[in-house]
Amino acid sequence: METAASPVAPDTGTQVGTPLRELILPPAPLDRFTLRRFSLDEYHRLIEIGFLTNKDKLELLEGLLVMRPEISPLRAHTSSKLHRVFSPLYRRENTMLRIRGPISIHVSDSEPEPDLAIYAGSEADHWERHPHPYEVNLIAEIDDSSSGRNRSRKGRIYAHAGILEYWIVNLPDRSLELYRDPHTPLSGDAVYQTKLTLRHGDSIAPLAFPDFEVAVSDFL
């Protein structure tokens, strides 16, 4: 009498059926989901209770927890040069520099950590809080990718906060993008109304320090 074939494939050491990697679905776009946004106070509370730590490498952008990009050797080297260029401002009264430190922006529930921030105040002013936008004279971000993250989302955040000057050190293009004149319309996204692109051989002085001219070649 014939017997029915076993439904179990023999163990021959070979894979039977569709490989697992073909069953993995691609990530779905975020616009298909309702996202839970955090207020800046909630974000600070998560840090206070130890739920979030520096090891998480996160920053709060418009209420969303966003992974900070990895710091490449070139970005780290450029950051050091940028700090060296602006370090003489430390000697000026009521002027502070911050490297990859938080800036608290309540108006958009954001706390970005730019590569460089120059702001008014003293060390004692910020022992218990991060700088606020009204204190910030200049923010600089170093961009070593073509993602556009710094131009779109962060540019919108900084413009909406009224930060007067925003620099993007564009490493792939070997240029400095300089944004000024923030404007928040009655409807739509905040924008910077003035953009300048500078390259090797060009020099510029920040709006807040018109007597402090820096050469683009000093950090690019």
Tens digit of each residue's pLDDT (9 = 90 or more) over 86-104? 999 988 888 999 999 999 9
The reported pLDDT for the residue numbered 150 is: 65
Question: What is the rounded average pLDDT of the residues 70-88?
Answer: 91
pLDDT of 15 higher than 50 = no
Residues in the chain, overall count: 220
**What is the CB neighbour count within 10 angstroms for residue 165?**
22
Going 60 to 45 to 137 to 99, the CA torsion angle's sign is negative
pLDDT digits (tens, 9 = 90+) for 17-65: 444 444 455 555 666 777 889 999 999 999 999 999 888 889 999 999 9
The two counts, helices (H) then strands (E), for the chain are: 3, 10
Question: What is the rounded average pLDDT of the residues 1-27?
Answer: 46
The reported pLDDT for the residue numbered 54 is: 84
Architecture of domain 72-218: Alpha-Beta Complex (3.90)
Question: What is the rounded average pLDDT of the residues 157-173?
Answer: 95
Q: Which helix (H) or strand (E) holds 180?
A: strand 175-183
B/e letters for 16-55, b = 16+ CB within 10 Å, e = fewer, are eeeeeeeeeeeeeeeeeeeeeeeebeebbebbeeeebeee
Three-state DSSP class for 124?
A: helix
Percent of the chain with pLDDT over 70: 83
pTM, entire model: 0.81
Report whether 126 contacts 96 (CB < 8 A): yes
Going 170 to 176 to 177 to 182, the CA torsion angle's sign is positive
